[in-house]
Structure 1
Amino acid sequence: MNPQQACEDLLLEGKQYNIEHHILPSENAVADRLLARGVELKDAYDELHGKLHARPPALQVFLGLVLSTAAFWNPQKMLKARTARNDLTNVNQQIARKANELAELLDQRTDLHNTSGFSSETHYHVGDVIEAASQNNYLFQSYVQEKLDALRGQFDLKYWPSLGDFMRELASDAEKAEMAATDPLTAAATAATRPSKADFFKALFASIEENSTENYGQLPRAFKLTDRTLASLANCALDLGPDELVDEAYVKRLRQRERNGTE
């Protein structure tokens, strides 16, 4: 079997599995792009097959990485990820501001309860809030509430944070929040300020590293593809048009920047 046929058979096999199990339609869409543009990938498949076919299932694993990276870490998805990161920063800033405002109001209400001669019959103990918020939580009521009630009976109000203190801690926590990606691929793909096709390559490089034998994966420790092969895979997996294509010089410059630690 020639290298291209071997690679395309693996793509078809994976696609059929996804269809039968009703999963990963976005990866199937990428597989269809690779199959439709097979002529452009002949040399890439030759290199992949030559380097990985003797180490099953390394070839299948790598093709799967290309599919998942193109499906979930493409430039469009990473643009949305950057927007979501900015949104999260803004939300934390709003939480910090509003929680501080609420803390001041709660302190003011406590003072009025103590000095005005009036009471509004509202929560005054943090335990009240916890119990009220957990009234529909069966596990809390079954395993926690009795112990919390015992603690409240053992320690009076001065041993507990006030509702204002509680809010100030939420404000402080939100104010000190530091953004961090929850996986290495997103971290790599969004390292640059602006989105670009480089996002895909950075995520793919991170994915290869994550799946190397050094990290108990299936790809050889020294596995490395030529710039030309990586460019061909990206062009087809991302379905880039004639005016958008990247070449081996683009990949070479990107790798050089990565080695130098620059964007």
Structure 2
Amino acid sequence: MNTTEVNLPAKACNDILLARKQYNRERGILPSHNIVIERLLLRELELRSAYTDLYKKLHMHPRALDSFFGALLDSVAFWGPERIVKARTERDELVRINEQIAEMGEGLAILLRRREELHNKSGFRSNTSYHIGDLIKEAGQHNGHFTLYLEDELETLQARYDLKYWPSLDACVDAIADDAYEAEIEASDPLTEAATVAARSSLSDFFKAWFVAIDEHRQAVNGWIPDSFRPSDNSLASLASCALGLEDDDLLSSSYVKRLRQRLRA
């Protein structure tokens, strides 16, 4: 194999990365991708073996190599270790918010019922809204779609059906509280689920998201990466180390990736 042939895999991979970088710059998009691309370009020598492995397995399949790098860039940019920690924090916050909504909603419904009793029995009124339709109209005044298309129809319904046909304000708040109380937190996409399913955060979360990203680009789901494609453990370790900016003692080994794959299969 001559020098040109030896360098061909690295050149092919670098050309893909440079093309993506230029595309992003021209459109002012995905700066997080370009940060990862720069890391990969600067550490080309460390990636020669990985690039050879990728090129050998993917270059015969149109767009597969580019698709693989797209999955890598997405995973690092959006599901790197720091982003996964943030996602876990946001999930925990969502749990707390739903708990607070349920608790505060229950208390607000009680207050609304008591206010209605006072309106009816105390001889005093506070001139507050009591019809859910009135509150909907008030809330929708800054929504042009509502005022143009729904407001008149809502007023027609209010005129047609008296108060007994409508839910009370406290019943609506109770429904909001019940909805929050019964909420089940789930990931909105497969990568988020893969990255946060473990009880504790670790670097393996990134790999789980990356593996899902690769699978989502396979031919079985109308992608470009062949279903049989399986990069080597060494390639995955090198690519992850460079893409994540790991150095020295933090560099990942092929044995780490091999053990991780075995745990995931189990």
Short-chain TM bin: over 0.9
Q: 1:110 aligns with which of 108, 111, 116?
A: 116
In 1, Cα distance between equivalents of 2:141 and 2:102: 27
Counterpart code for 2:141:
Q
CA drift at 1:27: 0.7
> 1:2-27, CA deviations, whole angstroms, 9 ceiling, x for partnerless residues?
10111011111111111111111111
The one-character-per-residue Cα deviations of 1:20-75 (angstroms, maximum 9, x if unpaired) are 11111111110111111111111110010011111121101111211111111001
Paired AA for residue 62 in structure 2? P
List 4+ stretches of structure 1 deviating above 3 A. Answer: none
Structure 2: unaligned runs, 5 residues or longer? none
Please show how residues 152-191 of structure 1 align to structure 2 within 5 Å. 152-191=158-197
Q: Which residue of 2 aligns with 1:8?
A: 14
Counterpart of 2:69 (choices 58, 63, 67) is 63
| Corresponding residue number in structure 2 for 1:204 | 210
**In structure 2, distance between residues paired with 1:24 and 1:142:** 37
| Candidates 23, 30, 36, aligned match of 2:42 | 36
The Cα shift of 1:246 comes to 1.5
**Amino acid of the residue matched to residue 67 of structure 1?**
L
Q: What is the TM-score of this pair, normalised by structure 1?
A: 0.96
In 2, the alpha carbon distance for the partners of 1:157 and 1:257 equals: 61
Counterpart of 1:89 in structure 2 is 95
Distance in 2, Cα, partners of 1:210 & 1:57: 14
Cα distance in 2, alignment partners of residues 159 and 256 from structure 1: 61
Shift of 1:190: 0.9
TM-score by length of 2: 0.95
Number of residues of Structure 1 aligned to a counterpart in Structure 2: 260
Of 245, 255, 260, the match for 1:239: 245
* Structure 2 match to 1:216: 222
Alignment counterpart, residue 106 of structure 2, candidates 96, 100, 104: 100
The amino acid across from 1:101 in the alignment is G
Greater Cα offset, 82-91 or 136-145 = 136-145
* Identical-pair percentage: 50
Shift of the alpha carbon at 1:180?
A: 1.0
- The Cα shift of 1:193 comes to 2.1
User: Which position in structure 2 is the counterpart of 1:54?
Assistant: 60
For 2:143, give the aligned amino acid. Answer: N
**Paired residue secondary structure (1:127):** helix
| Matched AA of 2:220 | E
Q: What is the distance in 2 between the residues matched to 1:231 and 1:191? A: 22
